[in-house]
Structure 1
Amino acid sequence: MAPFSRAKDPKLTPLDALETRTPQEIAEHFGVDAEQGLSAAEAERRLNEYGPNELRTTERESAFVRFLRQFADPLVYLLLVAIGISVVAWAAEGAEGLPIDGIVVAVIVLANAVLGFVQENKAADAVAALSAMTATRATVLRDGLMVSVPASEIVVGDVLVLGEGDAVGADARLVSATSLQVQEASLTGESTGVTKSVDTLDAPQQIGDRVNLVFKGTAVARGVGRAIVTRTGMDTEMGRVATLLDATESEPSPLEREIARVSRTLGILVIAIAVVVMLALVLVNGVHSVAEAIQVLLLGVSLAVAAVPEGLPAILSLVLAIGVRVLAQRNAVMKDLHSAETLGSVSVIASDKTGTLTKNEMTVREVVTASGRVTLEGVGYTPKGKLLAPSLAVLAEAALVLNGGARANNAQLAKVDGSWQIQGDPTEAAFLVAERKLEAAGPIPALERLGEVPFSSERKMMSVIGRREDGTASILAKGAPDVLLDRCASEYVDGSEVPLTAERRDYWQAQIRDLAEQGYRTLGVALRDADECECDAFDDSCERDLVFVGVASIIDPARDESVQAIAEAHGAGIKVVMITGDHPITAARIAQDLGIVGAGEQARTLTGAQLDAMDAAALVEAARDVSVYARVSPEHKLRIIAALREGGAIVSMTGDGVNDAPALKSADIGIAMGITGTEVTKQASHMILGDDNYATIVAAVRQGRVIFDNIKKFMRYLLSSNMGEVATIFLGVVFGGLIGLADPANPAATVVPLLATQILWVNLVTDSGPALAMGVDPEVDDVMARAPRRPDARVIDGHMWSRMISIGLVMGVVNLVIYDLMLPGGFLAGMTEGVPESEQLAVARTTVFTSLVMMQLFNALNSRSDMSSAFTHLFSNRWLWISFAVAIVAQIAVVEVPLLQSAFGTVGLDAVHWLIAVAAGAFVLAFEEVVKVIRRRVIHR
């Protein structure tokens, strides 16, 4: 055997032209038994020695580069220029003392950069954790058992077990293939699947013609197979084109685009206001020195920087990341952050029944044969329970049904660590469990499988051919009873084959209907003897002239939590749609049990055949009323989604099979089953259910609405608070002179309510902390008590704009009143009596400065709800109160600590002035409380 050494050969193998090598050569070369796979210990050794099976991704920027990028903003550039000019002016005037303004602004710019860097890092870490949670998995043979492992842990020599819907985890040489077809469009661009074979090719071929190889990044469209891994990671064919994947750029989401649009609009408006303020100061006061010019410039730039919410995108990403992490903790894993914003708008939840609305604990409950019925005791996958039969003849017939269902089967049942576990389809596993319950009645006949025609959603059946111990061959088939009956010519009755007459077909249809009305899923089993030529060339043409042996009824009990979740969805204005391959009668009965339709109400059900007879317009109309779709194929799901979306709905759709992938991709929120879903389905989805539970979908929708509400909260807070800053400066400069406000030391000059450093400080201490805290705010209003958000609804609508502008104006007016109280010449002057004339302006500014901080903190309480009082769940968000405490302590320090006083132009305040500042904040809270009371009365009128 040739040595296996990646260190000597970066391709992981010295073998070229793998398609010309036999499976035996490949197995010998890589030191693996194709029937047993690698041992767990050997697989671990190879993984440690040769590294994970991963494609190289674009290297993450260094921390230093990411930190420097925080300064890459035009407004920050202006501040940096202003700092430079300030320092130059200080030097030109003699460089006495320190350039306080320049230093303070530089420190604030640095602090903002640090905050942005931390927020960006946290969001990036959350995305990385999300990628780990949604990583592709693969089934491999280890120590003779099929085990599911992350695709990154596949090693050269592993034996891949491939089935319909699996993502191929690495490049591999096939050692077995049955009706195996692989979609290789990701590598070749060909949309049609490639039919695979184990035959060894005579000469090397181009990638599209290497029919005995499978490649990483492709998907199994149908059939089953096994293959020995020959290359992993960057040595695969997909690794050769990995650079193309690195170049792919994601498009901004609608919310990102709206935030960018708001930021641009607000930026233009604020810059215009800043220019007006600067011009007003120049025209009224004049500019008599470089220092004064610098002060005017710094004020204008600071106003623009503070008012434009340049931190919105970073806070948005972090809030979405935190929300997505909460969803993941509740078994709903979003594959990208911005799908969470769509989740809260879902108006239709279209769901599979099995495993989502039900427990996915498939159990054979009854077997119906030509002579009677057998009842099986026990539930779940533990093979314990008696078979209750009226006679030995009926028991023998039932045994044939269960043996046939267990042989036409690709699932695996094994006892692991003391508990029974399944690998594969739960319905198939139910037959394995039921067959083991037969062991008490006698030995189970062995069958050497020779070939298979796999199950597909279109065929609704599967069949195998195998050789019995006596050397004879049999064909065994399992599938939907009505489909199977069409392929049968006779039936098995008391040990004999008798013709299947029209009367007997009616009998079987009646039995199937009776089981369906009881809510059972039904599967039929048929068989016949096979001849040698069929053993050599077994395909679907052999599925004829079968002998029908009976029907197994399988129960999958509804989840108790599904009933409550469906009621909650209905209360939230969400339409619940059930899509199933079951019989229409079974589907209607389960829909009633689950509450999808009202008690005593007849569910309107559409079948796949009826869908085929409808044109697009008719289906759009029907989809408005239909809640149950039965006997549908995955192709029908695509039409159902299109019809619902055409009708104006935001649709979530669940799926698990490979053919569900197009439907999931076209849905607004495609949801893949995390337990039973195929890897292809998971790749096509937006969300993966960790527990395949319908209640998790509804809980995720609730959380999606909370996330969206929180986004609106911090946007309402940031924008209205920033408008308060703009209004304070604008009203103070423009109207201060009109009402006679003046600097006692220079009565001819118009006074500015805030200094540039003070504006930047307010932005620093009140923006990031409270905004982030509101991003994780618990539910204040009952988000499921209102209808879904309209698809065309703006995040910031006209009502929200009016509320933000009104709050901003209230802040500006209140600060103007406070300023008027503090300075001589105003209508209400008098609060600075006893204050030295040289300190009156500083006291006034410090009071306004502190009032603005308090108003913004109180405004955070207002912003938690558009309708509910700020006192609703007042203390439910501890992070908000922590951010308040940090901001207040910081503000006290800026006002009272001498070193910071000189840096920010503040002076110490007495109790009266602190009380005025707090009262100003309380006034903003009271104003909004009154507005909310009026709005609640108007809406409930």
Structure 2
Amino acid sequence: NLGFSGTQVTFGRGLGVVVATGMATEIGQIAELIQSVEPAATPLQLRLDRVGKQLAAGGVIVALILVVIGRLGGESWGDLVLTAISAAVAVIPEGLPAVVTLTLAIGSQRMLKRHALVRRLPAVETLGSVTVICSDKTGTLTQNRMTVTVFEGSGQRHILDDLDAIPDQHPTALLALTAGALCNDADIQVTEDGDVTTIGDPTETALLIAAHKAGIDVASLRIHTPRAGERPFDSERKRMSTVHGPLPSERRAGLALIEEGATVAFVKGAIDGLLPLTTHVWLHGKAEPITPEERDRINAANDNLAADGVRVLGVAYRVIDTDGIHDEIEDRLTLIGLLGIIDPPRPEARTAIATCNDAGIRVLMITGDHPLTARAIARELGIVGADDHTPSVTGREIEVMDDDQLMLAVKTTSVFARVSPEHKLRIVRALRAQGEVVAMTGDGVNDAPALRQADIGVAMGITGTDVSKEAADIVLRDDNFATIVSSVEEGRVIYDNLRRFVNYSLGGNIGKVLVLLLWPLVMLIITGATKDAIALMPLQLLWLNLMTDGLLGLAMGTEQAEPDVMMRKPVDPGSSIWSDGWGTRTIWVGVAIGVGALLLGAGYHGVGTTRGGDAPYFQSVIFTAIAFMQIFQAIGNRSTRLPLHRLDWKGNPTLLLAAGFVFLAQIAVLYTPFLRDAFHLQPLSALTLLLCIGVGVLLLVAIETVEWRQRVHREAVKV
């Protein structure tokens, strides 16, 4: 008899007494739970924060070293300050923020095409690190197409494959379906052509369809047996009650079994919640006092149905003296029987869970259904193995567990049944306390705290409430578990692409810094002095950063998935961006770029006097060599798993276009007079240009050779 804040009144008028406001209301308490959840940094944010600090320190050190070397060589303070700033800029991958944003945005767009709407951009990459997915059962792992298939009552089980025969052969089943149609908030409409449409909760619509197929005119039944009151379903009681009556003399459908003029309360819900309130059971056409043996039989029937993956609803009634609503209408009940409802698993869910197993991701089923029903579906989907006899954990068991016991339970258990939203919050906290990266699904208002607590909150787009969607990071437009797995794949692709960019950008930057630092030493060896100690002018460095870190780096954010992206273990959230050999790769590629540019520059030192012009010829050679080496470095960075000849060149047309544009831009800056003068360059001869391109090709060959050896090593380890 309470109207909760936030509830929409669709029609009518009423007078109420306000008993709570603001944060003291039910929705206020939910808001307080949501606010109590501290937002945590994503794994990507933590990694980039570490990288940023490392690069900032490296940039300052490089700048100071260049100032010292320049002063020893007699360079002016003005040139030194510009060069030092340029070197510091060269160390920092300026394109990183743009690449991160673009890559995440592209990933979000891809996910939207796969029915996942991203609400918070950083969550996209976090999906790639997910180690545990906590999923609802109904509608997410199953089809949410409920069908009433069996009735258990009067000591017998009836398979409801021929619903037309129910009125004559199964009067008790007819009474149960009548009760299910009246104690029901869904609606059914039947056209003159016999087409049936339903609106409402899938379980309740299944009851209406079964009643309709059994010959019950639901609309007429409800008109002649109007509802006088109700106690709505809630997740704690796990039942719903409605009051009807007094029953007319013309009692329709199964109501003929109940006396005329009676006011009846019908109750439907979980049998383990109904049975303790039951004093009688319908046997042989009348209500009989329930015996301990009958209780055991009902419990056994419930367990047997649940073990077959059938969702079980108990249906009961009570004749009352008033049409008012009070707690006693759900006491001293007469159990009519059990209705078994199947909700077939989604075919794609089996494949998605197998993919999760290959990807090293645990899937936990968290449901409000009976433990045996949940376990049967979980076994059918592959969440638990046929030889896995670990018992399911129920909400009641969670309530008596302390935090340490719950942490042990979430390690060993894959199915949690009869769980409330408050239990979900504790499960998420227990998993995160063990270092897991958790994705949690939810659709109700009370699920919002758990969705906010999880690393990735996943709300249902079809059945979800506005509050759950607001609290979530991702909304599934099709409420499908397979969409979550597709999103995890996109998250891994995004992390791979960001790693490629950081490897590419910092590898090139290491090469540039080595040239700047070691060129004075090269001059000292060649000439015995440190004259011409500046290998690259500040504007030349900025051009290289714009062309390579900018255009080519951005194009790497559009790379497609590696073939084994969902066959690897999840990325450890605490791991560095340099792990798995990426740090070594970055360093050796950077050294190769630096050495290649230094050797070419040394070979062409002194050529400028014969070609004329103010700009040293060697600077143009170094400048061009680095540009072409980074073009071929970008091509070699496309995949670490497949050789270049096996890559789909149409898979990333953006990179090919960017590489072509950078190549033409580099030619233009060398041979267009006003650009050449602005960048202090000299035009290169055809032979020199080919040498610069050849050094880039050699770098690509070196990258492919190293990757080939790594592939051979990985295959050997598998064997």
Is the shorter-chain TM-score for this pair beyond 0.5, marking a shared fold? yes
State the one-letter code of the partner of 1:408. Answer: C
- Secondary structure of 1:720's counterpart equals helix
| Residue 635 (structure 1) aligned to one of 422, 441, 454 | 422
CA distance in 2, matches of 1:327, 1:820: 50
Which residue in the other structure is 2:130 paired with?
Answer: 346
Structure 1 residue 310 corresponds to structure 2 residue 94: yes
Aligned-residue offset at 1:916: 1.0
Q: Does 1:426 align with 2:202?
A: yes
- 1:488–1:691 CA distance, 2 compared to 1 (3 A): same
- Secondary structure in 2 aligned to 1:272? helix
Cα distance in 1 for residues equivalent to 2:106 and 2:578:
22
- Equivalent residues in 2 for 1:114-125 (5 A)? none
Q: Distance in 2 between matches of 1:374 and 1:257?
A: 59
Corresponding residue SS for 1:916: helix
CA drift of 1:283 comes to 3.2
Aligned length: 695
Give the match for residue 663 of structure 1: 450
Q: CA contact under 8 A between 2:166 and 2:174: conserved in structure 1?
A: no
Q: Secondary structure at the match of 2:412?
A: coil
Matched position secondary structure for 2:705 = helix
User: 1:400 is paired with a residue of what secondary structure?
Assistant: helix
1:368 corresponds to: 152
Give the conservation status (yes or no) of the 8 Å contact 1:847–1:917: yes
Asked whether 1:435 is paired with 2:196, we answer: no
Say which of 330, 355, 358 aligns to 2:114.
330
Helix, strand or coil: the match of 2:129? coil
Q: Distance in 2 between matches of 1:327 and 1:373?
A: 46
Distance 2:403 2:419 in 1: 16
2:142 equivalent in structure 1: 358
Whose helix fraction is larger, Structure 1's or Structure 2's?
A: 2
Is the 1:374–1:388 contact (alpha carbons within 8 Å) kept by the matching residues of 2? no
Give the Cα–Cα distance (whole angstroms) in 1 for the partners of residues 368 and 160 of structure 2: 24
Q: Distance in 1 between matches of 2:87 and 2:383?
A: 55
Report the Cα distance in structure 1 between the residues aligned to 2:144 and 2:505, rounded to whole angstroms.
Answer: 47
For 2:217 and 2:585, locate their aligned partners in 1 and report how far apart those are by CA, in whole Å: 77
Counterpart for residue 482 of structure 1: 272
For residue 174 of structure 1, report the CA deviation from its aligned partner: 8.5
Deviation at 1:568, TM superposition (A): 0.7
TM-aligned CA deviation for residue 295 of structure 1 = 4.1
**For residue 888 of structure 1, what is the aligned residue in structure 2?**
663
CA 1:781–1:822 in 2, change beyond 3 Å: closer, same or farther? farther
Matched ranges for 1:813-892 at <5 A? 813-824=595-606, 836-838=610-612, 842-866=616-640, 868-873=642-647, 875=649, 876-892=651-667
Partner of 2:315: 525
In 1: Cα distance, 2:156 partner to 2:635 partner: 70
C-alpha distance in structure 2 between counterparts of 1:730 and 1:438, whole Å? 87
2:689 maps to 1:914: yes
What residue number does 1:550 align with?
337
Task: Give the counterpart letter for 2:632 in structure 1.
Answer: F
Q: 1:255 aligns with which of 44, 47, 60?
A: 44
1:721-870 equivalences in 2 (<5 Å): 721-740=508-527, 749-797=531-579, 799-824=581-606, 836-838=610-612, 842-866=616-640, 868-870=642-644
Residue 400 of structure 1: aligned partner: 175
Contact 1:563/1:595 (<8 A) preserved = yes
For the residues of structure 2 that align with 1:286 and 1:653, how far apart are their CA atoms? 61
Deviates more, 1:864-873 or 1:401-410: 864-873
Paired residues of 1:732 and 1:753 also in contact (CA < 8 A): yes
How do residues 28-427 of structure 1 correspond to structure 2 at under 5 angstroms?
175=13, 188-190=22-24, 193=26, 253-287=42-76, 294-370=78-154, 372-377=156-161, 386-387=162-163, 389=165, 392-394=168-170, 396-414=171-189, 422-427=198-203
Q: CA deviation at 1:469?
A: 5.8
Aligned to 1:47: none
Distance 1:741 1:439 in 2: 105
* Cα pair 1:344 1:789 within 8 Å, conserved: yes
Shift of 1:794: 2.2
Greater shift after overlay, 661-670 or 767-776? Answer: 661-670
Deviates more, 1:861-870 or 1:406-415: 861-870
Distance (whole Å) between structure 2 residues aligned to residue 298 and residue 314 of structure 1: 25
Deviation at 1:780, TM superposition (A): 2.2
Give distance in 2, aligned partners of 1:507 and 1:284: 97
Q: For 1:206-242, what per-residue CA distance to the aligned partner results, in whole angstroms no more than 9, with x for missing partners?
A: xxxxxxxxxxx99799xxxxxxxxxxxxxxxxxxxxx
Q: Distance in 1 between matches of 2:620 and 2:109?
A: 42
Deviates most, 811-820 or 748-757: 748-757
Q: 2-side partners of 1:767 and 1:415: how far apart?
A: 64
Provide the secondary structure at the position in 1 that maps to 2:483. Answer: helix
**Does the 8 A contact of 1:448 with 1:468 survive in 2?**
no
The 3-state SS of whatever aligns with 1:624 is: helix
Is 2:368 the counterpart of 1:594?
A: no
**DSSP-derived class of the 1:737 partner:** helix
Return the alpha-carbon distance in structure 2 between the equivalents of residues 889 and 907 of structure 1.
Answer: 17
Match of 1:46 in 2: none
Q: Which amino acid aligns with 1:193?
A: E
Q: 1:623 touches 1:644 (CA, 8 Å); kept in 2?
A: yes
User: In the alignment, what sits opposite 2:252?
Assistant: none
Gaps of 5+ in 2: 249-260
- Provide the residue aligned with 1:625 in structure 2: 412
CA distance in structure 2 between the partners assigned to 1:894 and 1:306 by the alignment: 20
Structure 2 Cα separation of the partners of residues 182 and 578 of structure 1: 38
Which of 290, 305, 309 aligns to 1:500? It is 290
5+ long unaligned stretches in structure 1 = 1-161, 195-216, 222-244, 288-292, 378-385, 743-747, 825-831
Q: Indicate the residue corresponding to 2:257 in structure 1.
A: none
The answer on whether the counterparts of 1:604 and 1:626 sit within 8 Å (CA) in structure 2 is yes
What is residue 151 of structure 1 aligned with on the other side?
none
850-859 or 800-809, which deviates more: 800-809
Q: Residues 475 and 529 of structure 1 are in contact (CA less than 8 Å); yes or no, is this contact kept in structure 2?
A: yes
CA distance in 2, matches of 1:809, 1:307: 14
C-alpha displacement at 1:671, in angstroms?
1.8
Is contact 2:115–2:476 with CA below 8 Å preserved after alignment?
yes
Does structure 1 retain, via aligned residues, the 8 Å contact 2:425–2:453? Answer: yes
Give the conservation status (yes or no) of the 8 Å contact 2:43–2:574. Answer: no
- What's the CA shift for 1:872? 4.8
Tell me what 1:904 maps to.
Answer: 679
**CA distance in 1 between partners of 2:78 and 2:619 (Å):** 19
The whole-number CA distance in structure 2 between the counterparts of 1:651 and 1:255 is: 15
2:303 paired residue number? 513
- CA deviation vs aligned residue, 1:762-784 (integer Å, no higher than 9, x gap): 11111222212211210125121
- Quick one: distance in 2 between partners of 1:478 and 1:918? 78
Structure 1: distance between partners of 2:155 and 2:47: 69
| TM-score normalized with structure 2 length | 0.88
What does residue 650 of structure 1 align with?
Answer: 437
Deviations 1:249-302 (A, max 9, x none): 998655335434433432342243234324433432444xxxxx5444433333
* Match status 1:690 vs 2:477: yes
CA distance in 1, matches of 2:19, 2:176: 33
Distance 1:810 1:416 in 2: 76
Query: 2:336, 2:449 → 1: CA distance?
Result: 37
Instruction: Indicate how the Cα distance of structure 1 residues 547 and 324 shifts in structure 2: closer, same or farther if over 3 A, else same.
Output: same
* Deviation by residue 1:882-928 (Cα, 9 ceiling, x = unmatched): 11111111111111222222222223323311211111112222333
CA contact (8 A) 2:94 2:549 kept: no
Distance 1:626-1:371 versus aligned 2 partners, 3 A rule? closer
Question: SS at 1:711's partner residue?
Answer: helix
Report the 3-state secondary structure (helix = DSSP H, G, I; strand = E; otherwise coil) of the residue aligned with 2:245. strand
Q: What is the DSSP-based 3-state SS (H/G/I as helix, E as strand, rest coil) of the residue aligned with 2:130? A: coil
Query: Which residue identity does 1:284 align to in structure 2?
Result: G
AA in 1 matched with 2:90 = A
